């Protein structure tokens, strides 16, 4: 449990540490590069010296956040992920950085405040390059709204504004709620129904360019602070101080001992620690081409008939798509690798959104669909929609510290609470958490970030990479990987050399989201395979 010199408590918090695992001097020390060569090096280093301060299991937003929290506090940290970064729920979200309004509506003031604060942290300090302000528009069409519902929504939006103010997030970043006329409504969402349209209420929330990109940025920043980030490594036989690690690429195993073990495996938490009881809830989205709604720049928010607090959202996304979601359905039974939306969910989403559209969408318009499982804590009966989105940190009889529940927006707070618990329970040699002011890879203020290059760079590349765009440009060509797909060949190569992608699926399904639309994936596959193979040959183990 000896901190390396570079990561010892007392060194300047802003100094990325060298690798914390193993005695060898690493060629990757202080860099955020994740790739196959680093993975091999760090697995070997771990085999040489398998005693660490903290093992984090699960490479979703929570585990990656916990690894960054721990490594930046000076702990020798290893993160293991059985498949790939963001393989689980963290890639199936609505990609919203919530201000907590919906929690306020159900009286959960603490969760609402926490969400608003964490949204502000992401948008102002840690990842402003990945989060933009998204206008959310509720069309004022009388037959869509129950009597009094417009007033309720307006009051809710004002309460959301109060949360924003309370969190210290400037109005310049998230403009205040306002009412717009019908013409402005149509400019924001050209596909909106015009019959009876009296304008709209517009509020703002945060939207990630992509959820999986946040996870990768967290994992890379953690690696820069000395964490070993090991994908395709499954943790088995987990106790409070040890685990057997299986390299799923080679079948080799290794037992590590740790000062503490954090279980951040989301809906799989009960498989790692059988004392954890979850009640997963499935949420589905479908995807349509943005052209079918006239390329909206705001999210269309449609009340669910019969409910005062549920809405279906049509959310503009990168790659010229609109995601329409979402559902909240009990999902008992074994946890699938990739949950699938049901026919009933797709019908519900289409029917609800169609009520607010000038031209109805049909099943032929649906170019993709996805579903994810919320890792909700089992609190007994009731609807899954009513279960608190609060997170919990639990120490099980085996000594494993499990962090579960919560949401993407509050990952940083979840990570801080989990590491605090591990430090307190096991007396780990850590300094205090400072992740609220730690810029992630690509954020302004991150030491490797540069201003946007002078040469013309696609806006989509800047939105995905921020201040790291200069590194992406150095990795390859700016030509698109396929016609009409605004992902460049350079980004594919960079995914392999810097973002820990180990194969074509990692690139198509998680570093980029090309794979969400199967037809797009097929058009890009051959070129992606070639670039992945070429980039992989350049980073053969050193
Ligand atoms: C449909 C939907 C929409 C949502 N929308 C939003 C939103 O807009 N905004 C928001 O803030 N939140 C949203 N959420 C909530 C949010 O997505 C989740 O709370 C969050 O992503 C959970 O992340 P996690 O890291 O805890 O779990 P996961 O992302 O599931 O990560 C767990 C990881 O653990 C790995 N793992 C499992 N077992 C092992 C093992 N034995 N060894 C090693 N690794 C293992 C898995 O492969 C997986 O990658 C949404 C959720 C859903 C389902």
pLDDT in tens, 108-123: 888 899 999 999 999 9
pLDDT at 62: 98
Atom number in ligand 1 closest to CA 374: 53
Largest CA distance in the chain: 71
Residue 372 CB less than 6 A away from ligand 1: yes
Residues 410-424 have pLDDT tens digits of 999 999 999 999 999
Query: Mean pLDDT over residues 325-331, rounded?
Result: 94
pLDDT value of residue 107: 77
Calculate how far, in angstroms, residue 415's C-alpha sits from the geometric centre of ligand 1. Answer: 13
Mean pLDDT for all residues in the chain: 93
What's the mean pLDDT in 464-487? 96
CB-based contacts of 324, cutoff 8 Å, min separation 6: 285, 286, 287, 288, 312, 313, 314, 315, 349, 350, 353
- What would the mean pLDDT of 119-134 be, rounded to a whole number? 98
- What percent of the chain clears pLDDT 90, i.e. is strictly above it? 87
**Ligand 1 in contact with 80 (CB < 6 A)?**
yes
Q: How many angstroms separate the alpha carbon of residue 486 from the centre of ligand 1?
A: 27
233 CA closest ligand 1 atom index: 43
Provide mean pLDDT across the span 516-522: 98
The DSSP annotation for 429-440 comes to ------GGG-PP
Instruction: With beta carbons less than 8 A apart as the criterion, state whether 478 and 254 touch.
Output: no
| pLDDT tens readout for residues 297-312 | 999 999 999 887 889 9
Mutation choice for ligand 1 from 55, 56, 57, 58, CB with most ligand atoms inside 8 A: 58
Cα(2) to ligand 1 centroid in Å equals 31
Instruction: Give yes or no for residue 511 CB within 6 A of ligand 1.
Output: no
284 Cα nearest atom in ligand 1: 1
Q: What is the DSSP letter of 298?
A: S
User: Is there an atom of ligand 1 within 6 Å of 449 CB?
Assistant: no
- pLDDT at res. 24: 60
Secondary structure class of 336 (helix, strand, coil)? coil
Q: Which residue has the higher pLDDT, 80 or 396?
A: 80
Low-confidence winner among 235-239, 308-312, 427-431, 432-436 (lowest mean pLDDT): 308-312
**pLDDT tens column, 353-370:** 999 999 999 999 999 999
User: How far, in Å, from the CA of 56 to the mean position of ligand 1?
Assistant: 14
Distance from the alpha carbon of residue 270 to the mean position of ligand 1, in angstroms: 14
Query: Is the Cβ atom of 326 under 6 angstroms away from ligand 1?
Result: yes
Query: Ligand 1 pocket: which of 57, 59, 60, 327 to mutate (most atoms <8 Å of CB)?
Result: 60
Q: So what's the pLDDT on residue 17?
A: 53
Q: How many other CB atoms sit within 10 Å of the CB of residue 274?
A: 11
pLDDT mean over 442-447: 97
262 bridge partner residues:
56, 401
Check if 87 has its Cβ closer than 6 Å to any atom of ligand 1. Answer: yes
Tokens 């909206």 -> residue: 296
Q: What spacing in Å lies between the alpha carbon of 433 and ligand 1's midpoint?
A: 22
The CB of 95 under 6 Å from ligand 1? The reply is yes
From 41, 39, 123, 17, select the one nearest 85 (Cα to Cα).
39
Structure-token pair, residue 314 = 């049509």
276 ligand 1 Cβ < 6 A: no
What distance in Å separates the CA atoms of residue 374 and residue 391, rounded to the nearest whole number? Answer: 12
Instruction: Kindly report the backbone phi and psi dihedral angles of residue 510, in degrees, each rounded to the nearest multiple of 5, phi listed first.
Output: -130, -45
Strand pairing category for 253-263 and 242-247: antiparallel
The sign of the dihedral angle between the CA atoms of 94, 99, 103, 108 is: positive
Query: What does residue 258 show for φ and ψ, rounded to 5 degrees?
Result: -140, 150
Please count the other Cβ atoms lying within 10 Å of the Cβ belonging to residue 381.
6
Measured in degrees and rounded to the nearest 5, phi and psi for residue 293 equal -110, 15
Q: Which residue has the higher pLDDT, 541 or 491?
A: 491
Cα–Cα distances in angstroms (integers) from residue 34 to residues 146, 223, 333, 539, in the given order? 52, 8, 35, 11
| DSSP for 445-482, written as a single string | TSTT--PPPSS---HHHHHHHGGGHHHHHHHS--SEEE
Residue of 407, 412, 414, 500 with the most ligand 1 atoms within 8 Å of its CB, for mutation: 407
Q: What's the average model confidence in pLDDT over 112-137?
A: 97
Q: Whose CA is nearest to atom 2 of ligand 1?
A: 93
Average pLDDT of the segment spanning 380-399: 77
Q: Which residue(s) pair with 51 in the sheet?
A: 257
CA quadruple 344, 349, 354, 355: dihedral sign: positive
384 pLDDT more than 70: no
pLDDT at 5 over 60: no
Output the CA 92–ligand 1 centroid distance in Å.
Answer: 8
Of residues 168, 387, 124, 412, the one with CA closest to residue 281: 387
Residue 482: which of 425, 534, 527 has the closest Cα?
Answer: 527
What are 455's two structure tokens?
Answer: 């040469």
Give the whole-angstrom CA distance, residue 280 versus residue 268.
10
Residue 74 region by backbone torsions, left for phi larger than 0, else alpha for psi between -120 and 50, else beta:
left
CA of 143 to the centre of ligand 1 (A): 37
Q: What is the pLDDT of residues 171-230, one digit of tens each?
A: 999 999 999 999 999 999 999 999 999 999 999 999 999 999 999 999 999 999 999 999
- Give me the pLDDT at residue 386, please: 57
Element (H, E) at 351: helix 343-354
Say which residue the tokens 């099943």 belong to.
363
Q: What is the mean pLDDT of residues 139-148?
A: 93
The pLDDT assigned to 351 comes to 97
Q: For position 532, what pLDDT does the model report? A: 98
Count CB atoms within 10 A of the CB of residue 342: 15
Question: Is the Cβ–Cβ distance between 299 and 313 less than 8 Å?
Answer: yes
Measured from the CB, is residue 59 less than 6 Å from ligand 1? Answer: yes
- Residue 73 sits at the vertex; the CA angle it makes with 72 and 74, to the nearest 5 degrees, is 90
Q: Is the beta carbon of 93 within 6 A of some atom in ligand 1?
A: yes
User: What is the percent of the chain where pLDDT is above 70?
Assistant: 93
Is the pLDDT at 10 greater than 70? The verdict is no
Average the pLDDT over 67-79 and give the result.
98
Q: Confirm or reject: Cβ of 90 under 6 Å from ligand 1.
A: yes
Pairing verdict, β 77-81 and 228-231:
parallel
Cα 140–Cα 142–Cα 148 angle in degrees, nearest 5: 85
Which atom in ligand 1 lies closest to the alpha carbon of residue 272? Answer: 41
Q: Are 80 and 233 in contact (CB under 8 A)?
A: yes
């Amino acid at each position: 449990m000896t901190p390396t010199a570079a990561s010892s408590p007392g060194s300047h918090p802003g100094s990325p540490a060298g690798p914390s695992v193993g005695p060898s001097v690493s060629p990757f020390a202080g860099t955020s590069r994740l790739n196959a060569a680093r993975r091999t090096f760090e697995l070997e280093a771990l085999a040489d010296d398998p005693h660490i301060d903290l093992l984090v299991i699960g490479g979703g937003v929570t585990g990656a956040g916990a690894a960054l929290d721990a490594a930046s506090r000076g702990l020798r940290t290893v993160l293991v992920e059985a498949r790939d970064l963001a393989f689980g729920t963290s890639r199936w979200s609505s990609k919203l950085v919530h201000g907590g309004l919906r929690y306020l509506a159900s009286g959960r003031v603490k969760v609402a405040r926490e969400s608003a604060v964490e949204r502000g942290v992401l948008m102002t300090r840690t990842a402003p390059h990945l989060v933009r302000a998204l206008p959310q528009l509720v069309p004022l069409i009388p037959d869509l709204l129950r009597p009094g519902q417009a007033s309720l929504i307006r009051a809710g939006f004002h309460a959301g504004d109060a949360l924003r103010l309370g969190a210290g997030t400037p109005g310049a970043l998230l403009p205040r709620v306002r009412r717009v006329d019908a013409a402005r409504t149509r400019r924001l969402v050209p596909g909106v129904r015009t019959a009876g349209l009296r304008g709209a209420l517009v509020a703002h929330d945060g939207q990630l360019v992509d959820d999986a990109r946040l996870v990768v940025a967290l994992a890379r920043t953690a690696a820069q602070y000395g964490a070993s980030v090991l994908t395709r490594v499954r943790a088995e036989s987990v106790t409070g101080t040890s685990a057997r690690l299986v390299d799923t690429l080679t079948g080799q195993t290794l037992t590590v001992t740790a000062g503490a073990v954090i279980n951040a495996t989301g809906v799989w938490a009960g498989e790692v620690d059988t004392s954890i009881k979850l009640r997963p809830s499935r949420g589905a989205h479908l995807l349509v081409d943005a052209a079918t709604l006239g390329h909206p720049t705001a999210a269309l928010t449609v009340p669910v008939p019969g409910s005062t607090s549920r809405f279906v959202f049509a959310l503009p996304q990168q790659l010229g798509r609109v995601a329409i979601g979402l559902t909240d359905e009990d999902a008992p039974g074994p946890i699938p690798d990739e949950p699938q939306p049901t026919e009933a969910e797709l019908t519900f989403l289409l029917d609800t959104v169609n009520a607010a559209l000038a031209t109805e969408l049909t099943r032929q318009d649906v170019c993709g669909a996805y579903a994810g499982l919320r890792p909700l804590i089992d609190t007994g009966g009731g609807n899954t929609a009513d279960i608190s989105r609060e997170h919990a940190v639990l120490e099980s009889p085996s000594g494993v510290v499990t962090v579960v529940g919560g949401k993407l927006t509050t990952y940083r707070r979840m990570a801080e609470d989990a590491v605090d618990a591990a430090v307190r329970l096991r007396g780990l040699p850590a300094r205090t958490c400072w992740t609220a002011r730690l810029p992630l890879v690509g954020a302004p203020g991150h030491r490797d970030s540069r201003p946007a290059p002078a040469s013309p760079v696609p806006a989509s590349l800047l939105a995905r990479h921020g201040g790291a765009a200069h590194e992406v440009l150095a990795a390859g060509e700016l030509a698109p990987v396929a016609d009409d797909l605004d992902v460049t060949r350079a980004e594919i190569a960079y995914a392999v050399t810097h973002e820990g992608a180990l194969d074509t699926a990692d690139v198509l399904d998680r570093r980029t989201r090309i794979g969400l639309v199967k037809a797009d994936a097929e058009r890009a596959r051959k070129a992606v395979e070639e670039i992945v193979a070429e980039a992989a040959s350049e980073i053969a183990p050193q």
